[in-house]
Each structure stands twice: as structure tokens, then as C-alpha cells.
Amino acid sequence: MYVKQILAKKDRKLLSVEPEISVMEAVKFMTKYDIGSVIILAEGKLKGIFTERDVLHLSAELGLDFFKKTVSEVMSTS
């Protein structure tokens, strides 16, 4: 089987969360769907991205307190 064939069968559903959800909820969402990042959408518009790397940096900076924040407070934006 070729990579092209595998990618053709891959689910193309776009997984996203709302900016108001907590970081804890976003981490649970990413764990549930086995993904390393999630895009943040508000009213169908891209607002940012939240990644596993963000979790590492935030935990180093803030300890476990960052789990109480919303993803809009900590997401990466362009």
C-alpha cells in the first residue's frame, strides 16, 4: 500500500473547538481524538491553534493552574 492510498482513506473531518472552552476540555478533546493539535473556531472563523507543545510550555510556566484558563487565553494566533 502506498502513502497516497492511506491518505485517500484518511478521515478528512476538521476537528475544532470554541475559544471559550477550558484548556482541560481542549486537552481531553485532543486525547479523545488522538490528535496533537486543535484549531480554534468562532462563528466559523479561524481564531488560533492549540497544540501539545502549548501544554508543555504552559505547564512549565504556570504549573497546573493553566488548565483553568480558556483556550482563547493561551492559543497561538497569526
Residues of the chain with pLDDT > 90, as a percent, come to 65
Residue 6: pLDDT band with limits 50, 70, 90:
low
Domains contained in the chain, CATH given: 11-74 (3.10.580.10)
- pTM of full prediction above 0.85: no
Q: How far apart are CA 45 and CA 59, in angstroms?
A: 28
How many helices and strands, by DSSP H and E, does the chain display?
4, 3
